[in-house]
Amino acid sequence: MIGWIAWFASIMAGALYAVGFASYASLALTRLFPALMADISDLFGGRGAMLLLAHLPIAAYAALLCRRSGEGRQWVNFGKMILFVILILGGLWALGGRPEDTVEAALSPFFPSGGLGVLQAMGYTFITLQGFDLIAAVAGEVRQPERTIPRAMLLSLGAALVIYLPLVFVVATVGAPPGISIVEFSRANPDGLLALAAQNYLGPAGFWLVIGGAVLAMLSALYANLFAASRMALTMARDRTLPHQFGAVHEGRGTPVAAVLASGAPMLFLVLLLSDVAAAGAAASLIFLVTFALVHWTAILARRRGKERQPRRGLARLPLVPVIGGIACALLGLFQAVAVPEAGLITGSWLAIGGLLYWALFARRARVVDAAAEGLDPHLTRLRGRSPLVLVPVANPGSAPGLMAVANALAPPGGGRALMLSVVSPEALASGRTLADFQSVLGEILSTSLESDFAPEVLTTVADRPREEISRVAREHRCASLLLGLRRFETEASAEKIERIMAQVDCDVVVLRAPYGWQLTSVKRILVPVGGHADQSTLRARLLATLCRSGTEEITYMRTVPPGTSSRARRIAEREVTLLARDEVHRDCQKLVVEAEDVVAEVCSQAREYDLTILGLQHPDRRQRRIGKIPVAIANQTEGPLVLIGERGPTFGL
């Protein structure tokens, strides 16, 4: 949702600047071609002409960004800054010729609308300073982003303040006609205030300077926000929080055409909804207030969950800046939504639409991509506030190293935990035989922990029924995953025992079949047989990403199709496998689509060439996860390491 809000913030800001451009362009065209503008207003209506002027730059810039990237527009920014400097110097020159009490008279009262007016003005101010926020949106196209982006943000904010504060002072002191306060003048001319104010102290030249500067400012800001919104859409598509088609880049031009169009279309629509510049500014400021409040909250969470290199002392222990900033942004946003209901309605509707679309269409694929990212970078798990616990029942000492390695992959270091469970029956405990077995298992666990720098917790319980005890421990400790070791499915009863355990626990279940002494570090080539495009697995994505981080060289996604499958159906199957692999593995991998009458025989034949095979289990619903005949047959007809993954159940949308 944060990406959705940030994307909308840039889209909303772009709509604001399009409306602002239309306002100043209309003012200029009315001065230059009054008869023509009168005819256009008669043809389209007054609002129709404004909408036409607002839509033209959006369409033009969208077409430009589809053809080439966003470089080479620095001259626009420098040009408008030069114009603003001329306006400021001219205003100060005019102020020097006014009576000594001009400043005091113009700025009295300093808060003409009282405290509520100040709050509303603060809400509008955020959109004037939001340029620094756009810099982070293009981090992927910046050299040395960790050094360049913070400096660019501070320079952007400083440059805006250096320009805006003197300009506001000049307009407030010498911009209004004699005998009229700046408040009354602004209420009478809300759209053309700056141009008319400059005309009052610089003559017609001041008017056209403002028109030129304002047009340049609006166009450059519109371009920057459309560019930033398209890059946000591109990133969200790659994270699968938007359709994956938006993540495509044109092969020849290198531009994200679909992301640009997906960002420009809402801008065109929002221009139709916004009645004037004031409503557009209120809506844009409100969404940025929401964005900044979320950024402050994220900073607080990152501070709490991240590991500090040096302990903080005194007031430095308290995150004062994000706390105060977050509260201020939230309160200002709430006030803005109430003071300008149109802004609150637009923002609330967008958030509701985003939430529904995410849970209905994108949630499952986004979770898969997130799981893969956590596997590649274990610190993400901790920063996201997750601490998954993996329960690993161990009975044979020889299986402990392999089970611990897989548990380490499912519970990454620094963010997860593993609980090694040994269940002892009362009869075996009385005979003393199990005690020796437990000591052997514990010794193997400790030895493996020292070698792999992985320190699991160890729990020993006494129970008559081991399977029921495993289920009880998994429920009481609220385990995220249950990892079981298995030699082979000798009978159907072996599969039924595991199915009963899966039915009793509300967590993911992973079954490892591997020879004694097997090590996960020996895995270099992995085979992943899959079904259709919906055969996605967050657990498999996390496991594969961890294996990629630990040195796996090749991952092959395999899908079988019936003999005689048409070339069109085969291409569809290949595309589905490619999308599935792209979601789960953030690297190049092999895709294999083969025709086979006997699925089991084909998978077994391919599995002999790989170091590990990963299969998914059937889950008709949350409480009916079944191993199925095909995984059982594959497990019994192969000798190599095999992992069976049974997640809690499919995650359907609304």
The backbone torsions φ and ψ at residue 420, rounded to the nearest 5 degrees and listed phi first, read -85, 120
pLDDT, position 316: 47
Which stretches in the chain have pLDDT values below 70? 1, 42-46, 69-75, 130-131, 134, 137-141, 275-277, 306-319, 397-398, 413-414, 428-439, 441, 444-454, 488-493, 532-536, 618-626, 649-654
pLDDT, position 584: 85
At residue 547, the 3 state secondary structure works out as helix
Q: Which CATH class is domain 2-277?
A: mainly alpha
pTM over 0.95: no
Contact 295, 153 (CB under 8 A): no
Q: Which residues contact 290 (CB under 8 A, 6 or more apart)?
A: 5, 9, 329, 333, 347
pLDDT, position 314: 43
pLDDT, position 464: 85
Tokens describing residue 260: 């640009």
Architecture of domain 377-485: 3-Layer(aba) Sandwich (3.40)
H-helix or E-strand containing 644? strand 642-646
Tokens describing residue 651: 């995650």
pLDDT, position 61: 92
Instruction: Give Dmax over CA atoms of the chain in angstroms.
Output: 107
Contact 280, 22 (CB under 8 A): no
H-helix or E-strand containing 594? strand 590-595
- Say how far apart CA 502 and CA 421 lie, in whole Å: 17
pLDDT, position 549: 79
pLDDT, position 140: 66
Contact 259, 247 (CB under 8 A): yes
The backbone torsions φ and ψ at residue 512, rounded to the nearest 5 degrees and listed phi first, read -110, 125
H-helix or E-strand containing 622? none
pLDDT, position 651: 41
> Domain residues of the chain, as ranges?
2-277, 377-485
- Say how far apart CA 339 and CA 329 lie, in whole Å: 15
In this chain, the answer to whether the domains covering 2-277 and 377-485 adopt an identical fold is no
Q: Which residues contact 110 (CB under 8 A, 6 or more apart)?
A: none
